[in-house]
Each structure stands twice: as structure tokens, then as C-alpha cells.
Amino acid sequence: MNITHFSRIWIEVDTISSEDVLYLKEHLLLSTTFRRFLIYFKNTTIDYETLHGLIGPPHRIFSDDDRIWFFQMEKMSQNYPRMTSSPITSMGIFYTEQALKCELYFDDPCGKQSFEYKETRNDHLKIFVEYPEEIINNQTGLVNSLKIKYSGLEENYKKEKLDPVIHQIFKCLESRKELLQVKRLSIDAVDMSQAMRVVKLLDPLVLKKVEFCFENRDEEIDIEDALALVKWNEGQRMKLVFKLHTIRPEYLESVKKFLLHLPTFTEIFVYYKQCVNDNAILGTIMDIPMQHETPGSKEKFFQFRLSHSLLLSDKYHVYFLSDTHPSAYIKIGCRRKRSLLYGKHETSGDINVLCQKAQDQVLHDFEVNLGRQNTCLEELNFIFSYIHTLRKEEPSIETFGSLNQLTIQFLWKLREILSRRSQLLKVKVLEVLCCTDDNLMQILPYLDPNCLKTIKLIDPRAEYERLGNNYPESMLKPFVLDEICQLEQWKSVTELEIRSQPISTSIQEMNITHFSKIYMQVETISSEDVLYLKDHLLLSTTFQRFIIPFKNKAIDYETLVGIMGPPHRIYGDNDRIIWFFQMEVNHQFLEVKHNWLWF
């Protein structure tokens, strides 16, 4: 057939003989390109005694019809060319009571290959390790997953069996010239210090998840040895998993020390088979949101979600549409985005507990994502309508009151987070729905005035009217800008939209003539206010449009015409009046419209 120059073959033949096998073996041992031949046959003239005489005894016999041989390739340095010539994507080394097994996954059509050594010879470990060592030494690309697992029954676990395996793997990694790039590591070692020795031979810039497996033995494990990850990983972030046989209070006390390192760990899972205390008792040890196993789950675990981290965000929205299940939307650039729902795994008969846990999770993620952000956020958005909660039943004034208290509490905690930042948060657009002037003062002073350009606010009454709900009259309060308009952030903003109860602050005290666009409703407007705006806006280089509805007017038509001059156009019985004035800094005109409801 002239097939020995091929690297891969899949064919079916009519007959194959012992001599054919010998022919292929001798030619392929000299090949520099061979990778894999699969040859099926309809009839066989193979005599196993003759075959053994020609090519030697097999390395392993599975059954009467299943045999494996290994031979040193004469023209290649690798012991196992198929495995070393193709970059692997994942690798698993599994130690059972009777054998060692290696599974390899490749980024090519052949997919997976494995080999196994049973404990039939004293040097089985030495022979087995030759192949993983050659593969590890020749691996140049990223390995998605590396698993080193002891799969024996827990009652048969022996340190003496596992220790030599880990030691040999350590030597394989240590012999490399460069650190092996592994994305996810799952390791079953004798103890944590031994596991960390293996971890430190991997590339810290690549490793994203580490799983320490000790579930097959009921022994004390020094979890805190893994704190060495904090210094080792050079500021990269990773998920951390502990798999334990028995969960103890002291283990959770140790886990608390990991929670102090927010820049390092995104999530921490603690899986376990047995628990020396009730879960509720263990839960009291922790003072951060902690997820227990979900109902019906076959695995028992605690989850400590340190963050939903998407660093350097462009948009960060937080929606309190539900008191117990707030949500968030985070976006980076044009494609990366994430929607989050909080509190979905929390269980409690006390609604206040659920609300507090959900708030804590939102605040926690906010601090992790924006606590160190130094680029400018395009949008920061908060909604405090709790509309899904209100629509469950006819809301009472007590319900509105308790939800308002949740908002006040959340914003007070948010202010604490913002005040801890080393610099003011850079935000271009701030939008807050169901917001009072007091609420705004919890956020606005902590934003960078050099970045802030737009403020959009909707107070509770306006938002609930938009949603088709009535807000209690007794809870209405005017929107006051007396303190807000003195802030540097206010003075730097160019666009303002406030949909609220009429603003009681005098227009001439608002510091608004630097804005380019305004929409807001005021309590009262006078002829002097109109003249004040006209005189200042004629000199403006940024003005585009002001819309100012008013509840009460202190405007006398004759006085207004006296100070503004005769109008350009009058509609009806003086109920709509328009003026045009030449702008002094450009060739455009300032148009002033007045009716009985707005300027």
C-alpha cells in the first residue's frame, strides 16, 4: 500500500497478519511524521504466539483480544510522539488503589487519549511518570485544566500511596525551563503545603481557579497555608475551592482570613461531606453574605461570593425593583456585559433579613467593582421604585414608609463606600429614580466634578405616576436645591433634568446659568427671574434649551413687557408670548416662550 509515510490513517482491510503488524512496527519506529493509525480488518491470520515472538511480549493484556505494546521511537526524542507532538488542552492524572491513569485532551480531531499502569511491577510509578514528564516538558501552550486526583475509597486512603505521585509530578514541573501555563488546577495532595508547592510551579498570570481536594480523608487540614496564594499570584484574581471531608468551625474561621483579600479572590467555595455543627450555627461565624447549598443539591457547600467583578466598567446600573431581589447591570465596552440578580439563594422567614442580605451583596459588588476604578464611568444609575414589591398587593402608607427606609439605609452605606475611595469616583452621567434631595446628597459630593456632565433625577411621586401608582400625599416633600447647588459637582454639570415636586429654591440662587440644557419644575417664577435668565443666557456660549414649568407665578404682564420689551409674537389673550433676542457671543437668537404653565 505504501502507507508508512502517512502521519494518520483510518482504513478497513480484508485481512491482517502477524507479518503485517511487524512490518508496520519496524517502519513506523523510523518515522518522523507518524501520529496515529487505525486499521480495522474483516479477517485475521494473526497467531498471538507468533506475534509475541516477532515483536515481544505485550506491555498490558486486557482480554484475550486486547493487547498493548510500547516501543521507543528511533528517530524521535519523545517517548510518546502522539502525545508530545500535539499541544494538550487538558490533562488528568488519577491514582486509584490499583493503578495510575493519565488522560490527555488535544485540540485536534483525535480528541482524547489515555494510558494506564497497574501496580504489577515495583517500578510502575517510575515508568508511568516518564510519559507525563515528557508531555509536561514539551507543552508550550495554555493548559485549560490540570487535575491530580486520588480516587481511592476513603477508608483505604494511604498517605504513602499519594505522596510519591505528587512528588514525581512536582519534579516534572520543576524540570521545566518556564512555568507551566494552567488555567484551572484541581489537586489532591497529602497536605496543603505540598499542594502549594505544586501551585507555585505554575504561571500566576494565567491561573484562574484552584481546587484543593481533601474530601477522601477525615484529617485536619491547615487551610491557612493557601494564603500564600495572595502574595504568589501577583495581583491576579482567582476562584478558590476547598473540598473537605468534615467542615469544622475552625475551618470557617480560617476562611474569614481569605475574605480580607478582595483583590485576589472572586469566589470561595467550601464543599464538605459531613458537618460537626448545624449549618445555621456555622453561619453565625461569618459576617458576610454566604450562600448554602440549594435545596435538593447532592453536594453540601458554603459559597462566599466576594464579587461579581468586571473591572473598569463603562456602565453600572443598580435596580431596586424588589426589596429582596435587587438586580444590577454592568457593561464594559460594546460587548462585555453582565446582568445580576441578588438574594436568589437566600432563605429566611424574616423579610428584613432577606432585604439586608440582598443590600449587602449589592454594596459588596459595588465596592469590588468601583472601589478602585480610576477611569470615567459613562453611566451610574440607581432605581429605588420597588415596583415589583408594591404590585404584589395593595400598598399601604406603611409599605411605602418601610421601602423608603430601605433606600435611606442603602444610600447611607453607599456613601460610606464612596467616602473610603482614595479619589472621587469619575462618572459622566448620574441618573437616580425615586430620589429626593436628601438621597442625592449621599452620592453627589463623592463624584468627580471634572467628569460629571449630566444629572437626571425623578422623585418618588413622578416615578410612581409614570408607573401608574399613587404615592401617598402625606409623604410628599418639595425638592430643595439650597445645599446641592453650592456643590462643585453641581457647578460643573452641563445638563440637568429633574422631574419632581416643585423646587422651592429661588431660580436666582440655583446657580443654573452655566447649564446648556435644563428641565425642572419650580414653585414660583417672577418677572425678575425671567430677566435674570435672559441677561445671563445672552452671554452664554453653551446654552441650548431651558424648560421651566412653574406651579405659581408672580409675573405681571405689564411689568414683564416693561423689562423685556414688547414680545415678537402674542397668541390668544396673552396666554402664550414669544420673544427673540440677539445673542451677544454668536449670530444666534435667544427664543423666550412664556405661557401660564411654563417658561
**Residue pLDDT, tens place only, 564-595:** 777 777 765 556 777 777 777 777 777 777 66
DSSP 19: H
DSSP H or E run through 416: helix 397-420
Query: Read out DSSP for 136-188?
Result: HHH--S-EEEEEEEE-S-GGG--HHHHHHHHHHHHHHHHT-SS-B-EEEEEE-
Query: Read out DSSP for 339-401?
Result: EEE-STT---S-HHHHHHHHHHHHHHHHHHHHSS--SPEEEEEEE---HHHHTTS---HHHHH
| Range 254-262, long-range pairs (CB < 8 A, 24+ positions) | 254/223, 254/224, 255/223, 255/286, 255/304, 256/285, 256/286, 257/224, 257/227, 258/226, 258/227, 259/288, 259/304, 259/306, 261/227, 261/230, 262/306, 262/307, 262/367, 262/368, 262/371
End-to-end distance of the chain based on CA atoms, in angstroms? 94
Lowest mean pLDDT among 390-394, 399-403, 487-491: 390-394
Query: Measured between alpha carbons, how far is 212 from 192 in angstroms, rounded to an integer?
Result: 8
Beta bridge partners of 504: none
Q: Tell me the range of 5-9, 118-122, 327-331 where mean pLDDT is highest.
A: 5-9
Residue 457 has pLDDT above 90, yes or no: yes
Beta bridge partners of 240: 210, 268
CB 169 within 8 A of CB 148: yes
Domain residue limits, the chain: 8-68, 81-305, 315-501
How many other β-carbons are positioned within 10 Å of the β-carbon of residue 26? 14
Query: 145 or 348, which is more confident?
Result: 145
Closest CA to 233 of 200, 257, 211: 200
Closest CA to 193 of 226, 163, 169: 226
Percent of the chain residues topping a pLDDT of 70: 80
Q: How far is CA 414 from each of CA 409, 440, 479, 487, rounded to the nearest angstrom?
A: 9, 12, 21, 19
Q: Tell me the range of 366-370, 421-425, 491-495 where mean pLDDT is highest.
A: 491-495
Query: 345 or 511, which is more confident?
Result: 511
Q: What is the pLDDT of residue 548?
A: 87
How many other β-carbons are positioned within 10 Å of the β-carbon of residue 194? 16
DSSP H or E run through 496: strand 495-499
Query: Measured between alpha carbons, how far is 464 from 450 in angstroms, rounded to an integer?
Result: 33
Residue 94 has pLDDT above 90, yes or no: no
C-alpha cell, 549: 414649568
Helix (H, G, I), strand (E, B) or coil at 36: strand
- For residue 135, report the phi and psi dihedrals to the nearest 5 degrees: -65, -45
Q: What is the pLDDT of residue 477?
A: 86
The label of the residue with cell 459595588 reads: 366
Query: Measured between alpha carbons, how far is 78 from 65 in angstroms, rounded to an integer?
Result: 28
Lowest mean pLDDT among 31-35, 144-148, 519-523: 31-35
- For residue 157, report the phi and psi dihedrals to the nearest 5 degrees: -65, 135
Q: What is the pLDDT of residue 390?
A: 87
- With vertex at residue 91, the alpha carbon angle to CA 303 and CA 178, rounded to the nearest 5 degrees, is 95
Closest CA to 522 of 507, 509, 505, 503: 503
Residue 271 has pLDDT above 50, yes or no: yes
pLDDT-based confidence at residue 233 (cuts at 50, 70, 90): confident
pLDDT-based confidence at residue 77 (cuts at 50, 70, 90): very low
Q: What's the average model confidence in pLDDT over 207-227?
A: 90
Residue 422 has pLDDT above 90, yes or no: no
Q: What's the average model confidence in pLDDT over 364-377?
A: 82
